[in-house]
Structure 1
Amino acid sequence: MAEVWWSSEQNPGSRQWFSRPEEIRYALSRMPDIPFSAPSASACGTTIPIDPGIQRQEMLGIGISMEESTVFNLRRMSERAREDVMALLLDPERGAGFSLVRVTLGTSDFTGQPFYTYDDIEEGGSDFELEHFSIRKDIELGIVSTLRRMKEISPELKFFASSWSPPAWMKTSGDLKRGMLKEGRQYTDTLAKYFRMAIEAYAAEGITLHAITLQNEPLLEIDYPSCRMTPERQRELALALRKELDARGLDTAIWIFDHNFSDAWEYAAPILNDSSAYRAVDGIALHDYEGEPSVMRELGSAYPRHSIHLTERSLWGTKGADRLIRYFREGASSYNAWVTMLDSKFGRHQWVGTPDPTLLVQDASNPDRIWATPELYLTAQFARFVRPGARLLGTPYGSEDTVTNAAFRNPDGSTAIVVVNRTAREQTVRILTEGRQLETAVPSKTTATYVWKGASQEDAVPDNRIIRK
């Protein structure tokens, strides 16, 4: 038997979601199990053959961000309500099962706080010995305690960190906004030491950082924490950080770039074509605001030692679910949605635009009242059933005119296939796998996930409960 779960889109991307919750047709809804049958000719509209002999990249995780905006809103809630939200996000049996969290080293634009780093000193000064280094702000703002509690709820949870800006005294602008890292090896080496100290400071608080991206969106200078960084300078920084990490026996992965598909080749090649940097770097981080996901497959072929990660993009509706399928089919080992929960008045942030709906929305006048947008459930169609360590299996992509899909083999031997119907009509589907077939139908504008166990797991009892918000 195969378990069946559905989530549907509703007003995708509409900012109306900030004003009120709405009834969602399917919200990670458990449907009746479907039995397997012997393969036969079928009148189903789309056939999806799964080839378990083709196993591609290993999944690191699917998840969210814990920027200060979300943490602040969580801290406004009562302990009981906050625990319910944490379970909704992290519980792999009754919630979304998110398994990878992006955190910021210092402040990003999504904060209501004055912008800060871990080594802020008076204007005109310098601190090459990093005597003033401290993550005290992250502790005082509840970021550290929030991450620690998340890890307690979900022990397999992993964190990676991104820096929006070096300390202002290291920059040509003398400010966290805009500017570049000042010229000179001393600044490169000090920033590498700064990152290493951040990794160690978090470890001392019980939080292991699996990976670090060296600069969020290094081709952007804007009026919030940012720092333009050339690929040549980032190559130097990657080498310096690898030296710092190796000297301390730290195994935190180094991911380069952390910006758009459109500029990925021009940025990654000057770094990874250098033999020393090729060995120092572990992965390539990408955003999806310009360009196409196909560049991930190209980079993966050119640099097979390096994992590929979609570290920032929020998606809406079944069009977004199909985009997520494309990320994985093009080689991404992870995906992270950006900004998890704002309130109904778009608070709190200092981004230069008006945010689109987040996975969760908090009632600004009643912090314990939150509601989920359809995107929480659509993303959970992947996150809950595609677990860390899963591998992408061979299937044809399909068509936007019928259905698209991605199939995975989990470490426990179970198989999960996510099927997306972007069309305005029901689509019939036949899934062929290892001498068996499933015949099913996917409603319009709906994402369906089918999960079945390995032969040794057939007698396991499923947990049909789900936390609702």
Structure 2
Amino acid sequence: MSTLHTVETWLSSELAPGNNRWFEGPAVPDYALSNQSAIALTAPSVSDLTTILVTPGHTYQQMLGIGTSVEETTIHNLLKMDPASRDRFIQQLADKENGLGFNLFRITIGTSDFTAQPFYTYNDLPEGETDFEMEHFSIQKDIDLSIIETVQQLLKAAPDARIFASPWSPPAWMKTNGDLKRGSLKEGIEYTEALARYYRLAIQAFEEHGIPVCAMTLQNEPLLETDYPSCYMSPERQQELAIALKREFEEHNLTTELWIFDHNFADAMGYVTPILNDSEGYAAVDGIALHDYDGSPEVMSEIHAAYPEKPIYLTERSLWGTAGADRMAQYFRNYACSYNAWVTMLDSRIGTHQWLGQPGPTMLVQDADEPNRSWRTPEFNLIAQYSRFVERGAYRIGSNYGSRETVTNVAFRNPDGTIVLVAINRTAEEQPFRVLCEGKQFVATLPAGSVGTYLWK
């Protein structure tokens, strides 16, 4: 960490952001988590430079973590590696010195669309059968597919990491169409209670295997019905499920939090208000989960103003380049307490998944012909500019956003008192700027198309 009088600096630059050429092989950007010479903190002076005002006395939300998903696609690719290569890969995710330093991981309850397997849940039955008492419940498929073992390995490498879980679909026998794809939960409290029991058993099964689940979302993207595991769930039904699930958790001494919604900014306010305006719904809900595929991050500030006691989490979105790094800054400036990328590693044939579109490059890409070989894309570095330095328990602090024509930023104060400023230059020219904070200033220059992290006491 820095001394009192200097600012430590790291830079990463974008290179062909979001371009599929990253599936073809690695290339080296100008800056890749490159540690620069320390910058002096000096007395303030008169300046015409773009100025960022950092005010640590103005505190906002507290950070839970930054991380990625551990869906079956990534695990399927990992299992093609030999044990030593697999260990190195997991270290890259966990290590704060040489890797990403991630401390928050999303796992799936049953399969998602990013899987190499036939779709499954933990209670799949022959057509026409039901199992309200969950006598056939089992996470054995997760064990057989080495999902449990991989998450255990990850927790060993990052013992402070937190895990949260999301389901893509209830078991087919609970659904209106008898299928994991599309449909909705059958009407009737007996189905709501059966689903609550199913989720409670899943959380208990993970815990029995040494995987404590700090939180779960009640349904991934509840407004989407599509041709992979999905389930439409109205706010009224989700409220009923949250109340039933909270009761299940309390009866079985589970402290796992419940996060509602788990879908896009555009529909967020309309979805969460009927749940949180109800006293029982409000009491059952611990947080609000959001995705960024439609709408503006500013809705998070609106939700925060409406329900200030309910933390907000950005649970799914992958981003590219300095535009992506700036979008992350906007999440945090609008009260997100976390950020999770979606899908950690695809192979060089863009495999193996069952999503209905073509994904862009992930932070890491595996060589499909030589599975022990993988490479980082520039996104690895750009997300690490946040995840390596912003600690759990940090507070976002006051700073003026800046401008797209110069630099934008977001600032945090870590539990040990260090200040972290992440600044983004989306322009094609280098941008000099100065930072004023508590009677001191420093002057820095951010290269074109790059992100800088500045750390000081």
- Of 410, 421, 432, the match for 1:406: 410
Matched, 1:446 2:450: yes
What pairs with 1:15-26 in structure 2 (closer than 5 Å)?
Answer: 15-26=20-31
Matched, 1:209 2:213: yes
What pairs with 1:346-425 in structure 2 (closer than 5 Å)?
Answer: 346-425=350-429
Partner of 2:180: 176
Cα distance in structure 2, aligned partners of 1:170 and 1:5 = 51
One-letter code aligned to 2:332: F
One-letter code aligned to 1:6: L
- Of 289, 292, 295, the match for 2:293: 289
Please state how far the C-alpha of 1:385 moved relative to its aligned partner. 0.4
Cα distance in structure 2, aligned partners of 1:65 and 1:269 = 28
- Structure 2 spans left out of the alignment, 5+ residues: 1-5
Matched, 1:268 2:267: no
Partner of 1:31: 36
Report the secondary structure of 1:159's partner residue. strand
Cα distance in structure 2, aligned partners of 1:341 and 1:94 = 18
One-letter code aligned to 1:323: R
Partner of 1:119: 123
| Aligned-residue CA RMSD (Å) | 0.7
Partner of 1:251: 255
Give 4+ residue runs of structure 1 displaced > 3 Å after superposition.
none
Matched, 1:167 2:171: yes
Please state how far the C-alpha of 1:79 moved relative to its aligned partner. 1.3
Partner of 2:90: 86
Please state how far the C-alpha of 1:2 moved relative to its aligned partner. 1.2
Report the secondary structure of 1:408's partner residue. strand
Please state how far the C-alpha of 1:115 moved relative to its aligned partner. 0.3
Report the secondary structure of 1:246's partner residue. helix
One-letter code aligned to 2:15: Q
One-letter code aligned to 2:31: Y
- Structure 1 spans left out of the alignment, 5+ residues: 454-469
Please state how far the C-alpha of 1:249 moved relative to its aligned partner. 1.5
User: Can you list the C-alpha shifts for 1:193-224, whole angstroms capped at 9, x where unaligned?
Assistant: 11111111000000011100000000000000
Cα distance in structure 1, aligned partners of 2:407 and 2:128 = 59
What pairs with 1:270-349 in structure 2 (closer than 5 Å)?
Answer: 270-349=274-353
Matched, 1:428 2:432: yes
Partner of 2:14: 9
User: Can you list the C-alpha shifts for 1:139-185, whole angstroms capped at 9, x where unaligned?
Assistant: 11111111111111111101100000000000011010000000000
* Identity of matched residues, %: 58
Please state how far the C-alpha of 1:35 moved relative to its aligned partner. 1.5
Matched, 1:74 2:63: no
Partner of 1:464: none
TM-score when normalising by structure 2? 0.98
Please state how far the C-alpha of 1:90 moved relative to its aligned partner. 1.1
Please state how far the C-alpha of 1:263 moved relative to its aligned partner. 0.4
Please state how far the C-alpha of 1:42 moved relative to its aligned partner. 2.3
* Larger CA deviation: 228-237 vs 87-96: 87-96
Please state how far the C-alpha of 1:76 moved relative to its aligned partner. 1.0
State the number of aligned residues: 452
Cα distance in structure 2, aligned partners of 1:70 and 1:384 = 22
Cα distance in structure 2, aligned partners of 1:191 and 1:312 = 23
Please state how far the C-alpha of 1:87 moved relative to its aligned partner. 1.3
Please state how far the C-alpha of 1:99 moved relative to its aligned partner. 1.0
Please state how far the C-alpha of 1:93 moved relative to its aligned partner. 2.1
User: Can you list the C-alpha shifts for 1:12-35, whole angstroms capped at 9, x where unaligned?
Assistant: 110111111112111111111112
Cα distance in structure 2, aligned partners of 1:182 and 1:175 = 12
Cα distance in structure 2, aligned partners of 1:173 and 1:371 = 42
Cα distance in structure 1, aligned partners of 2:136 and 2:21 = 45
Cα distance in structure 2, aligned partners of 1:51 and 1:71 = 42
Report the secondary structure of 1:367's partner residue. coil
Report the secondary structure of 2:372's partner residue. strand
Report the secondary structure of 1:342's partner residue. strand
Cα distance in structure 1, aligned partners of 2:38 and 2:142 = 46
Cα distance in structure 1, aligned partners of 2:146 and 2:438 = 49
Please state how far the C-alpha of 1:49 moved relative to its aligned partner. 1.2
Report the secondary structure of 1:430's partner residue. strand
One-letter code aligned to 2:349: K
Cα distance in structure 1, aligned partners of 2:142 and 2:7 = 44
